[in-house]
């Protein structure tokens, strides 16, 4: 038996590995099982080349726990190691046997080898007070036993093992004894190793599916296969709308399946539902650098050996391949949406309630997708509640909704029920009013005003109908200047949380006596504040801006100004203003209570 020292530059290497190399202790099991998988994959390659003789047998990985001894054992029947290889691969920290194998057998099995950095094994010391390796190579050499207690010292001696392969035995430290529980280990393996390429067993139970659908060809699969796989990934979710099968081998390797989930309510929107794998080993569900931001709402799996990861495989590093993959996914999604729009329009319309989030979010955040999205963006016309292509809606608006600056004014509603009166007034003037009521629409209208230079968005209740496209500054009123000022002062009423501005205009006698509206800019800022952001608290604390437009041509004001009872006059004006604000949904608290009480008194009288 020989006793030697691991060749590292500093004795502090083990504390660094234990505490800082990996983001969470659970990862040790992934690393050790991945090494065991690599050992079997190497053996397959060597056997196919005639370098490994004899029967392979059933290649697999076994995991066992001993709650009494506080141990975990990871066993494989792969290539094994000689004493010289243990010294080379284990005793030299950060020397990767997988990397060396890949270089030697490039083109033979590179896609199936997981490890690259040579540090995965040492994650075992995150949870162990002592680690044993008992291994026998496929070569005709004696088996060996290596032990280490986490210090730079180790022992290496011969072993009586007779079968090819390797056992890694972890003697758990006091803080990590919970890992000797079989159910705990089983749950961890199912988390990161659900789709490992080699069978992984605990006792008689196989824990993984070695052939997930993303490693198969699309022409081998049916809709039922994709749906079944989705249920396997997300057991409690509604069926997906459709999916995209990714399979690229140049200029990078990428496979996977991305699903468009059905989203009908805000609470269903969840990010980080795409899982990243490397050669079927789970890496992370934080894929924001690989998947475009607007597609983070998608579900599914991406698998690529070409995505560069740091040694713990927990975070992505900046790399040209990542940008290429990002662009490819964007293109594939745009291709799929355009194909559905052209070939399955009826189905596309039915899915729009969920799809509009992806399309609009993409157009807001990705200029390349914006160009494509213009072709399959839909908007609902409130007149018939049907969906139309943006190009068609825009053409219709060009005829009657172009302002003096030459911009097309897109008049929209966020709530067709509460804004019904405003919609009717706009439609009476021949305007098209579209519905924009999704979670992203507040941001969408602001972004599109910047990206579409010829378009301006105006909410239907932001102005009186006459002013929605072009502001009508000179409107004659039957009231004299003195009477108009008198009426204006009557409507300057205090409202809790509201900043009310009053103007008197001469509108049609059939128009309501007073119309409340919310100026577009101020309302947008308030809406954005409600969704957070750096300026959120500032605008959230600002009073809501309201414009009261008094129709000086309405006959009610002739009799109102002639009334002798000042109290009754004020009560009538208050009621008219309350009605207008109620239509905007802005009458709240004590103001609403007062309105209700006045309404009951009016019914009694």
How do the domains of the chain map onto residue ranges? 2-206, 213-341, 377-467, 481-604
What integer is the mean pLDDT of 462-491? 84
CA gap 595, 575 in Å, rounded: 7
Residue 539: closest CA among 553, 516, 522, 557: 522
Cα 79-84-87 angle, rounded to 5 deg: 100
pLDDT tens for residues 272-316? 688 888 888 888 887 877 888 888 888 999 998 877 554 344 445
Whether the per-residue pLDDT at 240 is higher than 50: the answer is yes
Helix (H, G, I), strand (E, B) or coil at 62: strand
d(CA 518, CA 500): 10
pLDDT digits (tens, 9 = 90+) for 582-594: 888 888 888 888 8
Classify domain 481-604 at the CATH class level: mainly alpha
Strand order in the sheet with 200-202: 2-5, 153-159, 143-148, 128-136, 165-172, 71-76, 61-66, 200-202, 205-206
Question: pLDDT tens for residues 541-578?
Answer: 778 888 999 998 898 988 888 877 888 888 889 989 99
| Residue partners of 253: CB distance under 8 A and separation at least 6 | 111, 304, 305, 306
More confident residue, 54 or 18: 54
Written as six digits, the tokens of 314 are: 């927990």
pLDDT band at 270 (very low <50, low <70, confident <90, very high): low
* Mean pLDDT of all residues in 186-192: 91
Does the pLDDT at position 536 exceed 70? no
Instruction: Write down the pLDDT at residue 324.
Output: 83
pLDDT band for position 23 (50/70/90)? low
Taking residues 113-129, report their average pLDDT. 70
**What is the architecture, at CATH level 2, of domain 213-341?**
2-Layer Sandwich (3.30)
- Residue 50, pLDDT > 80, answer yes
Higher confidence at residue 8 or residue 123? 123
What whole-number percentage of the chain has pLDDT above 70? 84
Which pLDDT band, with edges at 50, 70 and 90, does 101 fall under? very low
Structure tokens belonging to residue 461:
């209740």
Distance CA 593, CA 597 (A): 6
Q: What is the pLDDT of residue 221?
A: 96
Same fold flag, 2-206 and 481-604 = no
Helix (H) or strand (E) holding 386: strand 386-389
The per-residue pLDDT for range 126-152, each reduced to its tens digit, is: 899 999 999 999 999 999 999 999 887
pLDDT, tens digit (0-9, with 9 covering 90-100), for 194-232: 999 999 999 999 999 999 999 999 999 999 999 999 999
Question: According to the model, what pLDDT value does residue 111 have?
Answer: 41
CATH match of 2-206 with 3.30.110.40: no
> Residue range 309-330: average pLDDT?
66
Confidence of residue 522 (pLDDT cuts 50, 70, 90): confident
pLDDT band with cut points at 50, 70 and 90 for residue 6? low
Q: Give the chain's mean pLDDT.
A: 84
Give me the pLDDT at residue 15, please. Answer: 58
Query: Long-range contacts for 380-386 (Cβ within 8 Å, ≥24 apart)?
Result: 380/434, 380/435, 381/432, 381/433, 381/434, 382/413, 382/416, 382/423, 382/427, 382/433, 382/434, 382/435, 383/427, 383/432, 383/433
Mean pLDDT calculated for residue range 161-170 = 96
Architecture of domain 377-467: 3-Layer(aba) Sandwich (3.40)
Residue 454, pLDDT > 90, answer yes
CA distance 576 to 179: 71
Q: CA torsion angle for 277, 110, 101, 130 (degrees, to 10)?
A: 20
Per-residue CA distances from 153 to 174, 196, 428 (Å): 21, 33, 88
pLDDT in tens, 392-427: 999 999 989 999 989 999 999 999 998 999 999 999
State residue 13's pLDDT score.
53
Question: Between 156 and 21, where is the model more confident?
Answer: 156
Q: Is the pLDDT of residue 95 over 50?
A: no
């Amino acid at each position: 038996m020989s006793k030697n020292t691991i060749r590292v530059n500093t004795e502090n290497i083990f504390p660094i590995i234990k505490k800082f190399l990996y983001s969470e202790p659970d990862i040790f099991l992934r690393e050790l099982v991945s090494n065991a998988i690599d050992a079997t994959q190497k053996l397959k390659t060597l056997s196919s080349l005639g370098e490994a003789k004899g029967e392979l047998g059933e290649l697999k990985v076994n995991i066992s726990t001993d709650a009494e001894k506080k141990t975990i054992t990871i066993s494989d029947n792969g290539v094994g190691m000689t004493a010289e290889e243990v010294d080379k691969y284990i005793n030299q920290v950060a020397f990767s046997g997988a990397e060396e194998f890949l270089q030697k057998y490039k083109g033979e099995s590179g896609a199936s080898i997981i490890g690259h950095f040579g540090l995965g094994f040492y994650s075992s010391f995150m949870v162990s007070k002592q680690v044993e390796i008992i291994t026998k190579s496929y070569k005709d050499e004696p088996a060996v036993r290596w032990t280490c207690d986490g210090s730079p010292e180790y022992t290496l001696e011969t072993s009586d093992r007779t079968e090819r392969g390797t056992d890694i035995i972890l003697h758990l430290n006091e803080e990590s004894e919970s890992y000797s529980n079989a159910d705990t280990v089983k749950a961890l393996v199912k988390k990161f190793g659900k789709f490992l390429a080699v069978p992984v067993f605990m006792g008689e139970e196989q824990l993984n599916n070695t052939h997930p659908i993303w490693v198969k060809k699309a022409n081998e699969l049916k809709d039922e296969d994709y749906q079944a796989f989705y249920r396997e990934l997300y057991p409690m979710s509604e069926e997906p709308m459709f999916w995209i099968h990714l399979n690229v081998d140049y200029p990078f390797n990428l496979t996977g399946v991305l699903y468009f989930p059905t989203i009908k309510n805000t609470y269903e929107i969840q990010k980080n539902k795409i899982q990243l794998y490397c050669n079927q080993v789970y890496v992370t569900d934080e894929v924001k650098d690989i998947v475009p931001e607007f597609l983070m709402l998608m579900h599914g799996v991406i698998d690529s050996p070409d995505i560069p990861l740091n040694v713990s495989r927990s975070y992505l590093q900046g790399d040209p391949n990542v940008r290429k993959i990002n662009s490819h996914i964007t293109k594939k999604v745009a291709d799929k949406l355009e194909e559905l729009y052209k070939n399955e329009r009826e189905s596309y319309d039915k899915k729009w309630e969920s799809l509009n989030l992806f399309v609009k979010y993409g157009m807001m955040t990705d200029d390349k997708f914006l160009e494509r999205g213009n072709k399959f963006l839909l908007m609902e016309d409130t007149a018939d509640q049907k969906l139309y292509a943006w190009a068609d809606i825009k053409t219709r608006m060009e005829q009657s909704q172009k302002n003096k600056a030459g911009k097309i004014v897109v008049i929209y509603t966020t709530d067709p029920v509460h804004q019904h009166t405003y919609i009717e007034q706009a439609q009476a003037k021949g305007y098209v009013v579209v519905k924009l009521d999704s979670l992203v629409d507040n941001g969408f209208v602001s972004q599109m005003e910047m990206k579409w230079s010829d378009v301006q968005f105006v909410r239907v209740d932001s102005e009186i109908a006459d002013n929605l496209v072009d502001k009508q500054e000179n409107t004659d009123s039957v009231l004299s200047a003195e009477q108009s000022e008198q009426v204006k002062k009557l409507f300057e009423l205090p409202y809790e949380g509201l900043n009310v501005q009053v103007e008197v205009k001469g509108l049609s006698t059939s128009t309501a006596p007073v119309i409340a509206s919310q100026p577009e800019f101020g309302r947008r800022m308030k809406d954005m504040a409600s969704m957070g952001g750096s300026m959120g608290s500032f605008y959230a604390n600002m009073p809501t801006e309201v414009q009261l437009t008094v129709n000086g041509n309405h006959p009610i004001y002739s009799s109102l100004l002639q009334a002798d009872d000042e109290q009754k006059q004020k009560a009538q004006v208050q009621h008219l203003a309350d009605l207008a604000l109620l239509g905007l949904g802005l009458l709240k608290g004590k103001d609403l209570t007062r309105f209700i009480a006045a309404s009951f008194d009016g019914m009694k009288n």
